Amino acid sequence: LTGTSREQRAFQYVLTHAIPGDPHHILQTFDQWCYHCEHLSCVGPDKGRIVERVLLERAPLRVLELGTYCGYGTVLLAQGLPPGARLYTIEGDPRHAAVAEKVIRLAGFSEQTVELIVGPSEEVIPHLREKHGLMNANLVFMDHWKRCYLRDLQLLESHQLLAEGATILADNVLFPGAPHFLQYAKTCGKYHCKVHRSRLEY
């Protein structure tokens, strides 16, 4: 009826109620909207704690996020980066990317810290090195279409974009599920796998 998308409505709420330059408060404001107004498929606070723990343990200098959506996960990742680290995030939907760009900058992250790349992941990944300067990633956070998880992991492998000892953190592999990705990760012999149990967001 308003002619605006759920994502745009959520951003307007965040813009009105969140403290600019305060990533933690911006995430909390998103959570308030999602709990009490409209559901968005953001990472959410429960799974967010898993992401924060992995960031703390790994202290990655080069992070790649697949699936920016509204920028919730991007802000979550960016606020946990060690000094001098850089985050590259890929979003295939230009409308979502437009919202995410505003959210990321509202949180106080510059283009030097967070680079948002708009385009289908299968087209962007092969050009990350020459076009965007990402030699390899220490941490990859997958939160886009589940059917793309395996394809994109293998793309990252074939283009040698995974640093030695890199961590792949993939959301929702059990539900709605990414069975082919999970089977590959467990059986290909390249990875040590751990499943983090959690509730669905909100």
- The reply to whether 171 belongs to the active site is yes
- The reply to whether 91 belongs to the active site is no
Specify the pLDDT at position 2: 74
Active-site residue (options: 131, 146, 157, 164): 146
- The reply to whether 143 belongs to the active site is yes
Using DSSP, state whether 72 is helix, strand or coil.
helix
Per-residue pLDDT tens over the stretch 105-154: 999 999 999 999 999 999 999 999 999 999 999 999 999 999 999 999 99
- The reply to whether 152 belongs to the active site is no
Mind giving me the DSSP string for 105-160? HHTT--TTTEEEEES-HHHHGGGHHHHH----EEEEEE-S-GGGHHHHHHHHHHTT
Per-residue pLDDT tens over the stretch 46-76: 999 999 999 999 999 999 999 999 999 999 9
Active-site residue (options: 31, 91, 152, 201): 201
Specify the pLDDT at position 1: 67
Which of the four pLDDT bands, split at 50, 70 and 90, describes residue 199? confident
**What's domain 6-188's superfamily in CATH?**
Vaccinia Virus protein VP39 (3.40.50.150)
Active-site residue (options: 7, 91, 143, 152): 143
Q: Are 74 and 68 in contact (CB under 8 A)?
A: yes
pTM to 2 decimal places: 0.96
**Extents of the domains making up the chain:** 6-188
- The reply to whether 201 belongs to the active site is yes
